[in-house]
Amino acid sequence: MVGSTGLFQKENRVRVLIFCLLAVCCTHAAQAAPPKPIVELSTAITLDAGPVPLAKIEGRWVAAPTAVAAAVIHVETEARWVQCRVAKIVTVDISGVQVDVVTAAAVDVLDVVSLTGKSFGIVAPAGKYQCTITATDGRTGITQEVRQITLGDPVPPTPVVPIVPPKPVSTAPFPASGFAVLIVQEASGILPGPKQAILNSLDVRKYIDERAVELSDGSLFRRVWDDDISTYDLSDIPAELKKAYELTLEEMDSLPWIAIVGKDGTSGYSGPLPEDVNRTMELLKEYGE
């Protein structure tokens, strides 16, 4: 009896040991097992080049010969919501480089009945287009893919014609390449003190000398001349200075008179000499700065 009892107890201890080993192994296996994978959404996009016959029946577009789409896009996906946006692409030629530009031109996209996934019909003329497919699902969030497609014959690049600004209308009293000043007075006349001070002013002379352009003979384009210079006296001077003098005589209606060409060669002033040095300096700076 004692031997039988001991044997029974020994067998029980073995059973307990085996049970414990199995429990440990199961626990380790449970910890090492990978988590159950989350369902992944797969998306496959294919294109059927047109023309694809479509018709709208009870508010839904289906395959039928009564309407024609340029192409149909098939989207194979498990996502609950799928959208398709299509924008036209134009190719422009900029200085010999062809650049694709996505425009905001409206393109009709139709929901087409399909057995699986989603299908969209594109109603648009021949050309290049950008298709943006957006799939939305609570399990994976939002996914998006962008494709470029060509329908029909490629559209030739649209040349970009450079815009040339119109040449500004010159208001200069005579032709000159830059800042130039001509003062005409009556040499035998007597000027009031303030106006005589203009002709004697070192500030006026310095300002003009530092900015006046050169004539064809190398001298500065600035003169104080009498209004009665003879044709003989004008025969040996640069042609542009002679032209400036003749045009100023035609314009003036009083003496003394000042004609100024701005530093840009297109603006200018032609009118009576200002009343004093300060006003003359203001006038010169308006066109010389």
Give the separation between CA 36 and CA 75, rounded to whole angstroms. Answer: 27
CA separation, residue 60 to residues 35, 53, 112, 121, 125 (Å): 43, 14, 7, 12, 22
| Those residues with Cβ within 8 angstroms of residue 54's Cβ, 6 or more apart along the chain or in another chain | 61, 62, 63, 64, 66, 67, 68, 69, 72, 110, 112, 121
**Residue 182 has what pLDDT?**
96
The pLDDT of residue 62: 62
Secondary structure of residue 202 in the 3-state scheme: helix
- Which mean pLDDT values do the consecutive 10-residue runs of the chain (289 residues) have? 48 50 44 41 56 62 63 84 90 80 84 79 86 85 87 66 66 93 88 90 94 94 89 84 92 92 92 93 93
pLDDT of residue 33: 44
CATH, residue 142:
2.60.40
**CA 89/CA 150 separation, integer angstroms:** 9
Q: What is the pLDDT of residue 198?
A: 92
For position 158, what pLDDT does the model report?
62
- Residues 240, 186 within the same domain: yes
The two three-digit tokens of residue 101, written as one number: 């530009």
| Per-residue pLDDT, 276 | 93
pLDDT of residue 86: 92
Contact assessment for residue 65 and residue 53, using Cβ atoms and an 8 Å cutoff: yes
Domain coverage including residue 92 = 43-159
The pLDDT score that the predictor gives to residue 154 is 59
For the chain, the domain total comes to 2
Same domain membership, residue 150 and residue 118: yes
Instruction: Please state whether beta strands 180-185 and 222-226 pair in parallel, antiparallel, or not at all (unpaired).
Output: parallel
- What pLDDT, on the 0 to 100 scale, is given for residue 47? 63
Residue 165 in domain: no
Q: Is residue 254, in this structure, part of any structural domain at all?
A: yes
CATH number at residue 268: 3.40.30
User: Do 152 and 51 share a domain, yes or no?
Assistant: yes
At residue 271, the pLDDT reads: 92
Q: What pLDDT score does 26 carry?
A: 43
In a domain, 284, yes or no: yes
**Residue 71, pLDDT score:** 83
